[in-house]
Structure 1
Amino acid sequence: MSKLRLDRLQRFQRILAENGFDCYVAGTPISMGYLAGFFEGGGERMLALFIRPEGDPAMIVPSLSRTHAETTGVVDIRDWRDGEDPGELFEQLAKEWGLTTAVIGVDDEIPAAILLRMQTALPAALFKAAGDLMAEARISKEAEELAAMREAAQVAEKAFDAVLPLLRPEMTEHEVTLLLQKAMLDQGGQPTFCIVASGANGAEPHHSSDETPLREGDVLVVDWGCSVNHYLSDITRTIALGDPGQEAKDVYSVVLEAHLAARNAIRPGVPAEEIDAAARKVIEDAGFGDRFIHRTGHGIGMMGHEPPMIVRGNAKPLVEGQCFSVEPGIYLPGKFGVRIENIVTVTSAGHESLNGEPPRELTVVAV
């Protein structure tokens, strides 16, 4: 059965035509997977799906990937063996498609050696980074995509619920990370990342979990996610291991208010930056404006970070079906951090949270 998604392919072809592109080179598992159900990366080998504004696509693949490529339903598949130059296959395809002086878009993450080989083959063509076009095609999630993202969110939350009662002083951040990863696997998800940041480490938004032991009274920022059917979850919860004191509880209340203010501003047509502004105003009014040191959110789907970015300066209006994080935070160096993150999707009435609601008060784990 063909995996090629003609509806998505045709939508993307219209985007190429509207933006003046003669060809697009989809060379990442996400791009090829979205359009053709082909979630395989070539690494250093040339493996790509070639798309033009009209007509059927083509693939250039290593011979070891040909059988897999044939399941896509793409008819024009050209394979090469190790030791051969796949650039010659591209040269032939370019000749057939008339790409000598074409404008050719490429995935943002295509390997440099492969791009340079194509540029050598077509010195008069204009190659342009065009991952934003692929992101535009994927930006409004379909019902099946939302279903996978809801499931991924549920897997992540069930895993956290299973691990939370196990937390004890002297466990290390790394040990908690391993527990969460195993719990996500047990729930049927594929772990993609996990940050456990305790105490002062929580003031580093992208802390890399290490052997720091948990201490009684620590505030923990836990940021984790998994993949289900190629779609991702991403959630952050802030908890305390024993009583952390009033300051942490007060900061948590401010961040929660900012989180809810941002979500209350979500509806189709609202500029993305207004969501950021709503969260930022709450934190600034509380006197912590300089400690909110990142954007309020990022898009998510097959990629962990994709458009729309919920950040000052992004005036693009929200569109129904978009999915993104809402994750304001306050970070106090040498003390602790607090971040609260849910994934939401824009609906006609406002938004739907794919995660359960964050606790109204800082969760304190008894020790």
Structure 2
Amino acid sequence: MPHPFTTDDFAARMARATRAAAEAGLTGLVVMPGPDLTYLTGYRPTAVTERVTALLLADGREPVLVVPRLERPDAEAAPGAAAVRLTDWTDGTDPYRTAVAPELDPAGRYGISDSAWALHLLALQEALPDSSYASLTGALPMLRAVKDADELERLAAAGAAADAAYGRILKVAFAGRTENEVAADLADLLREYGHSQVDFTVVGSGPNGANPHHEAGGRTIGAGDTVVLDFGGLKDGYGSDTTRTVHVGEDVPADVREVHDVVRRAQQKAFEAVRPGIECQEVDRVARAVITEAGYGDYFIHRTGHGIGLTTHEPPYMVEGERQVLVPGMCFSIEPGVYLPGRFGVRIEDIVTVTGTGGQRFNNTPHDLGIVG
């Protein structure tokens, strides 16, 4: 098990977030249940409901965590609870006016969690009509993007677990079984290797592989099918996400080999481009150039990558127009693909972290076209 995060870790995160908010011209932050609250306090409410829970951060003020009274014992047990002033409210009162508003500047501009419910935001605006709010991700896109050593350890372990699951799935039967059955095998393997949560098990066989986000379905996989396997979830609170493409049987058509080789080269070139100081969009450009030069540019229909951490998709994004520069500790996917409608798809994905000199993979299974039975 990785070393647990401490109260000091969460206090330092809240202090960094508060400074970043001030530098972004915000009065402070209103952080509601979701990955940002978990990151900053270690608190993950057992249920996200109409009862408001909010972490309030502002420069020059101590952090305050507002919770429903019936959930106070859970909040007090969170590892970051000792670093905040905890206050509660009871049913039958207006928590926005009595518990949240007194802690905020009536005319302040706050970053608010993307995951905040509309009813909470609207109630805050009604309680403080002169206040204003900005998307927390838009205002502070780097809040969770740079991982510390303990977070990197967790991401590496999650990647290794996904790799182990892939090694095992190559040994199961594909032909004559449905996508759903193979997806269930993948989910079981992820859990066997320590995942507490399975977020997705994409099994796109034959023409279904040409849909990048195909949900596994009832299609029976047959000999000669190319199959895209994209799977991941959370292990010790941090994400895994990897994709490999396999073929059912040794007789691989020339066009499948060609497309797979193009995607493999694009993924490798994009990985080699990773280094501190380049813009995120450059990773996308490098991968896209390889695929475009090979004549398949119109069939690479998504960004090259996304950040990963407490969630499997988060900033930064490897996409045209993203000018954020890479810095050591960033973690993201590199996953170019080619999708030929009605025929097949190919995608290869690794999670990568930025080091002081380049990139390091958290997925290390072969990039070869896997052969399954």
Q: TM-score, structure 1 length as denominator?
A: 0.94
Question: In structure 2, what is the equivalent of residue 136 of structure 1?
Answer: 142
2:89 maps to 80
Once the two structures are superposed, the pairs formed by residues 7-18 of structure 1 within 5 Å of their partners are: 7-18=12-23
Aligned AA for 2:58?
A: R
Alignment of 1:220-235 (within 5 A): 220-235=227-242
Would the alpha carbon gap of residues 312 and 135 (structure 1) be closer, same or farther in structure 2, given more than 3 Å must change? closer
- Find the aligned partners of 1:18 and 1:319 in 2 and give their Cα distance: 19
Query: In structure 2, what is the equivalent of residue 194 of structure 1?
Result: 201
Q: How many positions carry a matched residue from both structures?
A: 362
Shift of residue 89, structure 1, vs aligned partner: 2.7
For 2:9 and 2:37, locate their aligned partners in 1 and report how far apart those are by CA, in whole Å.
Answer: 9
Q: CA deviation at 1:338?
A: 0.1
C-alpha distance 85-39 of structure 1, shift in aligned 2 (>3 A):
same
Q: Distance in 1 between matches of 2:256 and 2:71?
A: 53
What secondary structure is seen at the aligned counterpart in 2 of 1:315?
Answer: coil
1:284-323 to structure 2, matched below 5 A, reads: 284-323=292-331
Cα-to-partner distance string for 1:131-169 (whole Å, 9 max, x where unaligned): 234541211110000100011111111122222211231
Alignment of 1:43-82 (within 5 A): 43-71=49-77, 72-82=81-91
Aligned partner of residue 226 in structure 1, secondary structure: strand
The residue aligned with 2:32 is 27
- Structure 1 residues 106 and 55: CA distance shift in structure 2, 3 A: same
Question: For the structure 1 residues 4 and 325, does the alpha-carbon distance in structure 2 shift closer, same or farther, using more than 3 Å as the test?
Answer: closer
List alignment gaps of at least 5 residues for structure 1.
none
Corresponding residue for 1:101? 107
- Which residue in the other structure is 2:3 paired with? none
Match of 1:183 in 2: 189
Query: Residue 163 of structure 1 is aligned with which of 146, 165, 169?
Result: 169
What does 1:305-344 align with in structure 2 at a 5 Å threshold?
305-344=313-352
- Equivalent position to 1:37, from 20, 39, 42: 42
| 1:55-102 per-position Cα deviation (integer Å, ceiling 9, x unaligned) | 211111112210121231145222223443322333xx43354x1111
Distance of aligned partners of 1:175 and 1:82 in 2 relative to their CA distance in 1, 3 Å threshold: farther
> Relative to 1, partners in 2 of residues 1:96 and 1:199: Cα closer, same or farther, differing over 3 Å?
closer
Partner of 1:282: 290
| Superposition TM-score, scaled by structure 2 size | 0.93
Give the secondary-structure state (helix, strand or coil) at the position aligned to 1:318.
coil
SS for the counterpart of 1:254 is helix
Change (3 A) 1:83 1:215: farther
Contact 1:181–1:194 (Cα < 8 Å) also in 2: yes
Q: Distance in 1 between matches of 2:91 and 2:258?
A: 61
Q: Distance in 1 between matches of 2:212 and 2:32?
A: 31
Structure 2 unmatched ranges of 5 or more: 1-5
Match of 2:70, SS state, is: helix
Distance 1:30 1:258 in 2: 32
Give identity over the alignment, percent: 39
2:246 to 239, 263, 271: 239
Query: Does the 8 Å CA contact 1:80/1:86 hold for their aligned counterparts?
Result: yes
Asked whether the 8 Å contact 2:18–2:28 carries over to 1, the reply is no
Q: Cα gap change, 1:68/1:155 in structure 2, threshold over 3 Å: closer, same or farther?
A: same
Cα pair distance change 1:6/1:249, threshold 3 Å: same
Q: Distance in 2 between matches of 1:363 and 1:185?
A: 22
- Contact 1:5–1:36 (Cα < 8 Å) also in 2: yes
Matched, 1:124 2:130: yes
Q: Answer whether contact 2:11 2:83 (CA < 8 A) is retained.
A: no
1:89 to 83, 86, 98: 98
Q: Distance in 1 between matches of 2:116 and 2:103?
A: 23
The yes-or-no answer on 1:272 pairing with 2:277 is no
Aligned partners of 2:165, 2:276: CA distance in 1, in Å? Answer: 32
Root-mean-square deviation over aligned CA pairs: 1.6
Deviation digits for residues 192-218 of structure 1 (CA, Å, limit 9, x no counterpart): 211110000000001111111101010
Within 5 Å, give how 1:250-269 maps onto structure 2: 250-269=258-277
2-structure distance, mates of 1:212, 1:106 = 43
- Contact 1:78–1:89, Cα closer than 8 Å, also in 2: no
For the Cα contact (< 8 Å) 2:233–2:312, is it kept in 1?
Answer: no
SS state of the match for residue 137, structure 1? coil
Partner SS state of residue 133, structure 2: strand
